[in-house]
Structure 1
Amino acid sequence: MNFVHINRLDLNLFVVLDAIYAEGSVTRAAATLNLTQPAISHALRRLRQTFDDPLFVRQGSAMVPTPLARSLMAPVRQSLKTLQASVQGAKTFDPARAQRTFSLGCRDVLEAHILQPLMMRIARDAPGVEIASVRTERSELEADLASGALDLAIEVLAPVSDHVRRTLLTRDEILVVARADHPALRERLDLARYLAQDHVLVSSRRKGMGFEDVELARIGHQRHIVLRCQQYYAACRLVAETDLLLTMPGQYAHIVNRGLQTRIHPFPVPVPPLDVYLYWHENVTLDAGNHWLRTLLTELSAGEQPQPAETA
């Protein structure tokens, strides 16, 4: 048999092969597949050329498979069955019976308040579903969604094309964290007191301004940053023991400061909310499983109520 190049094979030919094998007749195979007899005969000729084998020989009124055809049928049928299940699974999704892993692009600051309710609901309604929460760079977000490396992503506003769909998931605010007995913050935290203190900036980037610095620059102000670090939890522990101030997303601030001797204050000037979006590529819009997870995440986010900052 000649070497068969898989990229030259037509999947429909295997459907025809299976039908002829099952029916033992080109005529009955045509009726089963709702095709004309010449179309089935043409497909059989292509199969014979591909495998360099007659595949079926006529004995009376029956088409009898050759040894090669018999050897092909088990893997062909298993492959067709697997493909059919995959196609059907993309159209229908039963959470209670599904066995599927979803890859979710999500930063640690968002994981803290999203993963707990998500996994509690999955444990109850979809025990066979697994979630892989992974970090992705905003610059690579669209490529990861398009390739399938990510099924969904949760991120602030990102530069993506029209091929990536998004929906607003939640709105957050930025708050200021200080130690509970900070000597300069016995009264309300206003802009003058905020700017007079030293600050911690949490960022995964080596340089550049944070969201709050951009907003301060808009009104002609700049704060003094003495430490740039990567983790909010480490920064909160440091702030609890020093006079440094930390500005951070509000939902995460209330989570990570539990048990710490800190106090959470409103940011001293009005700033736009931190909009967090759910992203997915257009090629999975109609995927039933992806739609189920999008709906679940949207529902869970809608049930979250931001906690207010403390006031002096």
Structure 2
Amino acid sequence: MNVSTSVERIDLNLFRVFDAIYRAGSLTRAAGQLHLTQPAISNALARLRERFGDPLFVRSGRRISPTPRAREIAPEVEAALSSLRRALAGGSGFDAAVSQRRFVIGMRDVLEFVLLPGLGGGLLQEAPGLRLQSARIERRSLEQDLAAGVLDLAIDVPNPVSAAVQHTPLFEETLCVAMRADHALAGRRLSLKSWLAVPQVVVSSRRNGPVLEELELQRLGLKREVRVRCQHYYAACHLVAASELMLVLPRYYGEWFARYLPLRLATLPVPLPGMSVLMYWHQHAEHDAGHRWLRERIRALFARGALRPA
């Protein structure tokens, strides 16, 4: 069955129903959120199913689960509804004290750990009705996600984007070496030779391929022994604190974990330049009052040293 794409021939309220069901995982809860009867929700879902030629939601125990087609269209529906809400609110500006807007910020987990507590705590004091979501960044679709409103902002290292995506630098990310506090090399100046002689743990979300410092070692014709490859710095820091392994990681993350684990940090003996971390947003959000408010708060947070342990 072909899906008609004519906006004039579809009740746009159906998408509010779709969004509510998708979020709630229940027709009953969706009806309550929209102040509609359950038969009205069921009728709207039947019309959506006919329109898309897909069940959209199937029963899974006491909940209903989205089909692959529903998961595919959900971000676009949410982005469209968010755009409509912003358009309606545009003339009245943004009042943080009463706003109930939802902002989705794309960031890596290593940044989320140190940034979100300070960011969320400050924002939610100023805007108690605000909703924040931290989301994983998919770099291949970053521009598309910003354009569609799947992400309101992204905080990441340099990415290739078009002129439609605005960006501003927030800080420089430098790397350091972490080792156990009573490691034989702790407290000394770490030489390249001694560092290469120690077994290492590396962190990467990819199953294979070189990490950043590996590329420089390859260029220099050097090699180190990697004993463990894991997905997250959190696990790697705990492993290093309990072993002879060493780890290369962002200095701000190492400083945070050195407060809670028996770790000692040292300067990385391979000369790597710092890497800029930027904030990205799409140009269609440039003059949105709420979006501008959020960007200003994030800039201020970094200016106050958001990544430094208190």
User: CA distance change for structure 1 residues 8 and 286 in 2, over 3 Å: closer, same or farther?
Assistant: farther
The 1-side partners of 2:136 and 2:119 are apart by 17
Matches of residues 72-111 of structure 1 in structure 2 within 5 Å? Answer: 86-87=86-87, 89-91=89-91, 92-111=93-112
- In the alignment, the residues of structure 1 paired with residue 168 and residue 154 of structure 2 have an alpha-carbon distance, to the nearest angstrom, of 11
- Asked whether the equivalents of residues 198 and 244 of structure 1 are also in contact (C-alpha less than 8 Å), the reply is yes
What does residue 112 of structure 1 align with? 113
Aligned residue identity for 1:142: E
Q: In the comparison of the two structures, how many residue pairs are matched?
A: 232
Distance 1:83 1:180 in 2: 51
Separation of aligned partners in 1, 2:98 and 2:229: 47
- The range that moved more, 272-281 or 84-93, is 84-93
Q: 1:107 to 1:84 in 2, by over 3 A?
A: closer
| 2:288 aligned partner, one-letter code | D
SS at match of 2:259: coil
- Indicate the residue corresponding to 1:284 in structure 2: 285
Amino acid at match of 1:238: L
Q: Is the 8 A contact 2:186 2:264 kept in 1?
A: no
**2:59 equivalent in structure 1:** none
Confirm whether residue 228 of structure 1 aligns to residue 247 of structure 2: no
* In structure 2, C-alpha distance between the alignment counterparts of 1:139 and 1:199, rounded to whole Å: 29
Q: TM-score, normalised by structure 1?
A: 0.69
Alpha-carbon shift at residue 258 of structure 1 (Å): 2.4
Superposed counterparts of 1:86-165, under 5 Å: 86-87=86-87, 89-91=89-91, 92-165=93-166
The structural deviation recorded for 1:8 is 6.8
- Give the residue type in structure 2 aligned to 1:87: A
**Is the alpha carbon distance of 1:238 and 1:86 closer, same or farther for their aligned partners in structure 2, counting shifts above 3 Å?**
closer
What is aligned with 2:53? Answer: none
CA contact (8 A) 2:165 2:280 kept: yes
Task: Sort the Cα spacing of 1:305 and 1:120 in 2 relative to 1 into closer, same or farther, 3 A.
Answer: closer
Look up the match of 2:65: none
Task: Return closer, same or farther for 1:86/1:244 CA change in 2, 3 Å cut-off.
Answer: closer
1:134 & 1:83 partners in 2: Cα distance? 19
1:278-303 Cα offsets, whole Å, 9 max, x none, are: 01111111111111111111110111
Residue 147 of structure 2 aligns to a residue whose secondary structure is helix
Q: CA deviation at 1:6?
A: 4.5
Q: Identity of aligned pairs, percent?
A: 42
Q: Deviations over 1:168-199 (max 9, x none)?
A: 01112101000112124463211111111111
TM-score by length of 2: 0.69
> How far did residue 88 of structure 1 move?
5.0
Quote how far apart the aligned CAs of 1:269 are.
Answer: 3.0
Structure 1 distance, partners of 2:106, 2:274, is: 21
Kindly report which structure 2 residues correspond to 1:242-257, keeping only aligned pairs within 5 A, or say none. Answer: 242-257=243-258
CA drift at 1:201: 0.7
Q: What RMSD in Å do the two structures reach over aligned CA positions?
A: 2.4
* 1:124 positional shift: 2.1
Q: 1:307 to 1:192 in 2, by over 3 A?
A: farther
Displacement of 1:248: 0.3
2:120 is paired with a residue whose SS is helix
Kept in 2: contact 1:172–1:306 (CA 8 A):
no
Q: For residues 148 and 202 of structure 1, do their structure 2 counterparts lie closer, same or farther at Cα, with a shift above 3 Å needed? A: same
Q: Distance in 1 between matches of 2:223 and 2:162?
A: 33
Query: Are positions 1:303 and 2:308 aligned together?
Result: no
- Alpha-carbon distance between aligned partners in 1 of 2:270 and 2:207, rounded to the nearest angstrom: 26
Deviation of the 1:208 alpha carbon: 1.5
- After superposition, the C-alpha distances for 1:198-233 in whole angstroms (9 at most, x for unaligned) are 111101111121122223333332322111101111
**Residues 1:307 and 1:285: Cα distance change in structure 2 (over 3 Å):** closer
Output the CA distance in 2 between the equivalents of 1:161 and 1:256.
36
* Residues 96-117 of structure 1 deviation map (CA, whole Å, 9 limit, x = unaligned): 1211000111111001221122
Residues in 1 aligned to 2:195 and 2:203: alpha-carbon distance in whole angstroms: 17
Distance (whole Å) between structure 1 residues aligned to residue 83 and residue 218 of structure 2: 56
- 1:84 and 1:241 map into 2 onto residues whose CA distance is 52
Q: Distance in 1 between matches of 2:157 and 2:90?
A: 28
Q: Distance in 2 between matches of 1:218 and 1:90?
A: 52
Q: Could you tell me which amino acid in structure 2 is paired with residue 200 of structure 1? A: V
Cα offset, 1:86, TM superposition = 4.1
1:12-51 correspondence runs (5 A): none
Q: CA deviation at 1:142?
A: 1.1
The alignment partner of 2:272 has SS state of coil
